[in-house]
Structure 1
């Protein structure tokens, strides 16, 4: 049954299998600049400092993760995850507050999933890593796929694909800093540019490219205002010819573990 659900979600490009479950999720206005959104206010203050300290301690600059260290400090990570579960998004939250919150919920729970099952060679070796409900947002149960496809992807912000981390070598790297209302737009921009220009994630020349399968799996998210190449060219140091054929690198699901 779980396999059938997964295949059904893939067939629908994962857009309609999950919902925000009644949460007041906002969408990003992409007609505005991609830095800070102006004139936004929030009555909520979410404290991500505990996660920020853990990331700085256990994540290398290249994104590799010291999962043994996280496991030894699991009490602090579990405390942060529990804290996030108690923060119920409201309509008063700014879009930046929501983005930072949901990205951190995803990344913290992915790390928790790995250390709860550590040692492991790949997240794909675990039991339904993305489809099983593993955490709460307020009083609602969520899976990682439910959060990604039912909330984050519906916020009209394709840069989230480079902000969330799936604990694998081919994923966009996990940053050694937590997302906050103040930095989320800047960090998503940085994460997107770094990923696209990382030669181990994308091989880009003007007339020949092999790019991450992320651009295939979530193509619709990147083509609302043009082609995949148009999107990549916004961030790529090497500009790609518009008629270049798209080819994809095989995805490496081995654990993004620090040696």
Structure 2
């Protein structure tokens, strides 16, 4: 009888121990949602094309791109099938949309080649001529409704409008891992390029980009404050400012 009573008292204690053991090991049993796995987009096809057809100084061989049009379109297919999701990092998303803008600008020129200027093409920035993730886009939508809203003014030195006065087209693809370094480099290169900006301590004659998108560069001070982050010449806060005429000739 004593043994029976002892057994009945031990059963709840054993049950509690078993439940505690299961609770302690529970986190190991939680499956990881496949939606949380981020697949990094491969920009290597674009990178190879840029290295092949764009010089270090930013001159673009559109005839070469025309010959490699199939390879270009293969990369555009990658962009179309891999649009950013909320799980992407900010740098991955920025790199994607910068590459979109540049690759589809090259496609626009190639599809209309030969042209002397992008402005010879009907409505080059407003026309919705490409599809990403089932949605139609124009170049101006990518620039103004996506890239500029991400609060990174240096995108203006990364996207290229196929014109001589534009910032040089970088001869490598933008990537998540390298983006911060790449944006710093293109900002420094553009601001100190004497064909794009003439800078002295007391006066500056700068690109119209700083006029058109002035507000983007004034979020943490004046345009001169922004320029001084990258300029090799220290500019006075009282420097006289003017803007250069924009050369829309093809950056060929």
What displacement does 1:243 show? Answer: 1.2
Please, which of 174, 179, 188 is the counterpart of residue 184 of structure 1? 179
Match of 2:238 in 1: 243
Distance 2:105 2:83 in 1: 20
- 1:70 and 2:70 correspond: no
3-state SS of 1:120 partner:
coil
Distance 2:199 2:145 in 1: 31
What displacement does 1:98 show? Answer: 0.3
Q: What does the per-residue CA deviation read over 1:191-242, in whole Å, with 9 as the maximum and x for residues that have no partner?
A: 0000000000000000011000000000000001100110001100001110
Match of 1:252 in 2: 247
- 1:222 and 2:236 correspond: no
The higher radius of gyration belongs to 2
- 1:174 and 2:169 correspond: yes
Structure 1 length as normaliser, TM-score? Answer: 0.82
Match of 1:200 in 2: 195
3-state SS of 2:227 partner:
helix
Q: How many equivalent pairs are there?
A: 217
Q: Confirm or deny: 8 A CA contact 1:59 1:174 kept in the other structure.
A: yes
Please, which of 96, 101, 120 is the counterpart of residue 106 of structure 1? 101
- 1:145 and 2:131 correspond: no
Match of 2:30 in 1: none
- 1:163 and 2:158 correspond: yes
Aligned-residue RMSD, C-alpha: 1.0
Give the 4+ runs in structure 1 shifted more than 3 A: none
* More relative contact order, 1 or 2 (CA 8 Å, 6+ apart): 1
Distance 1:137 1:208 in 2: 44
Match of 1:3 in 2: none
- Aligned pairs for 1:115-134 within 5 A: 115-134=110-129
Q: Confirm or deny: 8 A CA contact 1:42 1:94 kept in the other structure.
A: no
3-state SS of 1:136 partner:
strand
Aligned pair in 2 of structure 1 residues 183, 42: CA closer, same or farther (>3 Å)?
farther
What displacement does 1:112 show? Answer: 0.3
3-state SS of 2:94 partner:
helix
Q: What does the per-residue CA deviation read over 1:50-83, in whole Å, with 9 as the maximum and x for residues that have no partner?
A: 0000000000010000000000000000111121
Aligned pair in 2 of structure 1 residues 42, 223: CA closer, same or farther (>3 Å)?
farther
3-state SS of 2:136 partner:
strand
Distance 1:150 1:139 in 2: 17
Aligned pair in 2 of structure 1 residues 234, 92: CA closer, same or farther (>3 Å)?
same
| Larger helix fraction of residues | 2
